[in-house]
Each structure stands twice: as structure tokens, then as C-alpha cells.
Amino acid sequence: MRGRLVAGNWKMHGNRVANRALLDAVVAEIGGLEGVECALCVPYPYLGQVAERLADTPLAWGAQNLSEHAPGAFTGEVSAAMLAEFGCRYVIVGHSERRQLFAETDRLVAAKFAAVLGHGMRPILCLGETLEERDAGRTDQVVERQLQAVLNSNEKDSFKQAVVAYEPVWAIGTGRTASPRQAQAVHAFLRQKLLPETRILYGGSVKAANATEIFAMPDVDGGLIGGASLVAGEFTAIVRAAQGKG
Ligand code: PEP
């Protein structure tokens, strides 16, 4: 019932030449996708380049952030309408780097989530605990609080379109991955609060070498991939693992 999704998060990486090589290699490897959806969430300046290269391929693209506001006097911000105009299908909201480095609150994340949906795109809502919170036995409480803030101002039905990404903060960019059982436990907890059709991705140092065992968990519906999405061979191997061909 829930199709798998593998989404790349390029973070603040890339340049036009390197992007071109990466996109060409990814399209060549997984241009004909079956049994899995694939999206690349890229820095704003490259949306035009990525949209042009991925047009007429089955790969989707998206952004990593947006403004919660409608267009107006908000210097330096990017609206949902602008991203929709670029053909974005997905927008990441609430990534832990934005929560931690840019002080994004649960309420702000909820407003951004609504802005994405309001423009016909799909939010990828990131939730996850720090190591300190996990060690204190507060993982469920933290992800529940983060999710509830979104549910307070958005219909539960919005999770027919929206995607959730469970990303333990201690596993992001650290090379440390949650064990498949740890990931499954949190995904199953979140599943009870969502809809049966909501896709819940795992993110946190997913690589070709560990993707198959993580994707084998019954409540893991794919991955949000940071560092490994910048390496064509790694990323395409992760997509193949999600297809069950890893
Ligand atoms: C991310 O940025 O969402 C992420 C999961 O990064 P990494 O795969 O590098 O841990």
C-alpha cells in the first residue's frame, strides 16, 4: 500500500559542474525506476538546473526549506509559491540542522508544513531526538511532541500527502546509524499516530552497506539520504536496495 521513497538531501553542497556529473550518473543508473520513488532535494540556486535535467525522467526534485510566509517583504526568504513554480514535488521541513542551527521551533515547522501543502507539494517532516534525549529514555516523548505540534495546526489527513522522516540527530552525518531494530521501534510508535498510508522514512548515515537491512524493517518506507546522496554509486545502490534489488 505504501510505495517506497528514497530522497536525497544535498544540504549546502554542489556547483553546476559537479551537479551535472552527479545528475547524469544518477539518471543513467536509475533512469527507469520501478517499485520506488526517488527525489533529490537541492539548494535553491540549483533548482532550475535540476528541474531541467530531471524533466522527462521518473526522478522528482524538491527543496530543503522554505518560508512560512506568503510572498511579501521578507528579504532573503523563498516562498512555497516559488518552489511550486520550479516544479518541486517535495520540501524538507524541520530538518534537525534547521532546528538546531537556525532555532526553528516546533510551531514554525508546523507553519512551514502547512505552506508546503497549501501549494500542492509534499512536506518531508523530519523528527528525531538528540543522543542526550535518547540516553534519558525520552525518544518517544520527543518525536511525539514534534509530531503533535504539526497535528495541532494541520489535519491528520494531510499525512496522506506528507512524508515523515525519523532522523535521530546523533546519527546524522556522524557515520553512526540507528540499528534496524531501533529505527523500527520508533517508526512503529509514529505509525500509530499517523495514517496507514503515511510513508515514514529513516534518515541518519544510510549508505549502500546498511540500506538493505534498514529497509527490511516493516515500518521503514525508504530513506532520507544526506552525505551518500552526493555520491552517485552510493545513492543509486541505496535506491536499488529500496527496490529490493540491493
Ligand atoms: C540528512 O541530512 O537528512 C541525513 C540523514 O544526513 P546523513 O545521511 O549524511 O546522515
Secondary structure (H, E, C), the chain: CCCEEEEEECCCCCCHHHHHHHHHHHHHHHCCCCCEEEEEECCHHHHHHHHHHHCCCCCEEEECCCCCCCCCCCCCCCCHHHHHHCCCCEEEECCHHHHHHCCCCHHHHHHHHHHHHHCCCEEEEEECCCHHHHHCCCHHHHHHHHHHHHHHHCCHHHHHCCEEEECCHHHCCCCCCCCHHHHHHHHHHHHCCCCCCCEEEEECCCCHHHHHHHHCCCCCCEEEECHHHHCHHHHHHHHHHHCCCC
What single letter denotes the amino acid at residue 48?
G
The rounded Cα 175 to chain-centroid distance in angstroms is 18
Whether 32 has a pLDDT exceeding 90, the answer reads no
Ligand 1 centre distance from Cα of residue 234 (Å): 13
The number of residues in the chain equals: 246
Q: Kindly tell me if the per-residue pLDDT of 245 is higher than 80.
A: no
Confidence of residue 246 (pLDDT cuts 50, 70, 90): low
What are the grid coordinates assigned to 74, written together? 521578507
pLDDT tens for residues 140-179?
999 999 999 999 999 999 999 999 999 999 999 888 889 9
Residue-level pLDDT at 47: 98
147: left (phi over 0), alpha (psi -120 to 50) or beta: alpha
Q: Which residue minimizes the CA distance to atom 3 of ligand 1?
A: 226
The most distant pair of C-alpha atoms in the chain lies apart, rounded to whole Å, by: 49
- Percent of all residues in the chain with a pLDDT value above 90, rounded to a whole number: 93
Catalytic residue among 37, 95, 104, 187: 95
> What number is the average pLDDT over the span 179-192?
97
Ligand 1 contacts (CB < 6 A) are 9, 11, 167, 172-173, 203-206, 224-228
Atom of ligand 1 nearest to the CA of 171: 10
Across the range 199-215, mean pLDDT stands at 97
What is the mean pLDDT of the segment spanning 66-82?
98
Span from the CA of 72 to the centroid of ligand 1 (angstroms): 32
Write down the residue that cell numbers 522522516 correspond to: 165
Distance of alpha carbon 106 from alpha carbon 111, whole angstroms: 9
Q: Pick from 124, 163, 205, 231 the residue to mutate for probing ligand 1's pocket: most ligand atoms within 8 Å of its CB.
A: 205
Q: How far apart are CA 237 and CA 242, in angstroms?
A: 9
Instruction: Write down the pLDDT at residue 1.
Output: 75
User: What pLDDT sits at residue 175?
Assistant: 84
Residue 97: active-site member: no
Q: Is 167 considered catalytic here?
A: yes
Across the range 228-245, mean pLDDT stands at 95
Query: What is the position in ligand 1's atom list of the atom closest to the CA of 97?
Result: 2
Write down the pLDDT at residue 33: 78
CA 206 to ligand 1: nearest atom: 8
Whole-number Å distance between alpha carbons of 229 and 235:
5
Reference 123, options 100, 144, 147; nearest CA is: 147
Amino acid at 64: Q
Task: Please tell me the pTM assigned to this model.
Answer: 0.97
Q: What is the pLDDT of residues 112-134, one digit of tens each?
A: 999 999 999 999 999 999 999 99
- In whole angstroms, what is the distance from residue 178 CA to residue 80 CA? 32
